[in-house]
Amino acid sequence: MKRAALYSSTNRSRGTASRPASVAEAAAPATPGRVRALFLDLLRRHERPVIFLGGALVAATLVLAFLALQPSPVEVSQEDIDAAVLHTLENKTLPSRAAKAAESVRESVVRVRGYSVDPKDPDAGEKERSVGSGVVIVDEGIILTNLHVVAGVSRVSVTFFDGMESEAEMVGAHPENDLAVIRALKIPDDLPSATLGSTHKLQPGDEVVAVGFPFGIGPSVSAGVVSGLGREFRSPEGERLLKNLIQFDAAVNPGNSGGPLVTMGGEVIGIVTAILNPTEARTFIGIGFAATIEAAGSAVGIPPF
């Protein structure tokens, strides 16, 4: 007769006790201490991602706080803009176009003086024989002026915008346009050169400024317009006929010779060369002439500017 299998209660108890510890722990009730332990264990195992995520959250919070503190944008109407412009015009004096043009070349304009000894009285020493103007076209001290200002003298002196004086030597001449190129032997620090323009688009009626040393006074500024182009002028001595000149009506006098004729954009487009006066006064009566900057380019020995 087959015997029924017998199961010991002890073995059943042992089987229950032998379940894996993890299962038993999972079945255990979730106490606050146990939750804390599990949380700390999770932090230890994922420390870097948690730190990164925390930093990102802090940064995002700061950005949002910053944006929340910014004032809301204010819409600006055309009326507001017009009112602001009107207020500026009523309360602030803006420089004129002529003033801005003159300022653009102010530090590039020099006074030029020629000295020589009178052969009839050599014991009297050097005397000033001529006075004119010039404009720096290369910041190394290369200056454009009129040939009649420096011709026939034994020594040439230039005075810069800051009061520095220097002797100069002639390095080029263009008698056909009464132009000369001189070089100062010493120059101020950071000497600026003038901006040279072109007469290709110049028209009668265009505003211009003449800067120089009339009668040695200056630098002086006068403003006017271009009166004509392609003019001719024969010097009172009849020595040469000057061609292709710019005629203008900005006031110039003896001493302006060699100074720049400047556009409202601050570009030198001519070198003041002569004035027309049928009397013996040799003063300005409304017509002046300037050699074009293209002719000045030939005097310097380089292609026109």
The structure tokens 């070198």 sit at 271
Angstrom distance (rounded) from CA 301 to CA 171: 10
Residue 248 burial (10 A CB sphere; 0-12, 13-18, 19+): buried
Closest CA to 299 of 213, 170, 141: 170
Residue 30 burial (10 A CB sphere; 0-12, 13-18, 19+): exposed
Residues serving a catalytic function are 148, 178, 257
Backbone angles phi, psi at 6, to 5 degrees: -105, 135
Angstrom distance (rounded) from CA 273 to CA 254: 10
Measured over the CA atoms of residue 249, residue 252, residue 253 and residue 254, the dihedral's sign is negative
Backbone angles phi, psi at 106, to 5 degrees: -50, -45
Answer left, alpha or beta for residue 141, where phi above 0 means left and psi between -120 and 50 means alpha: left
Closest CA to 259 of 300, 209, 297: 209
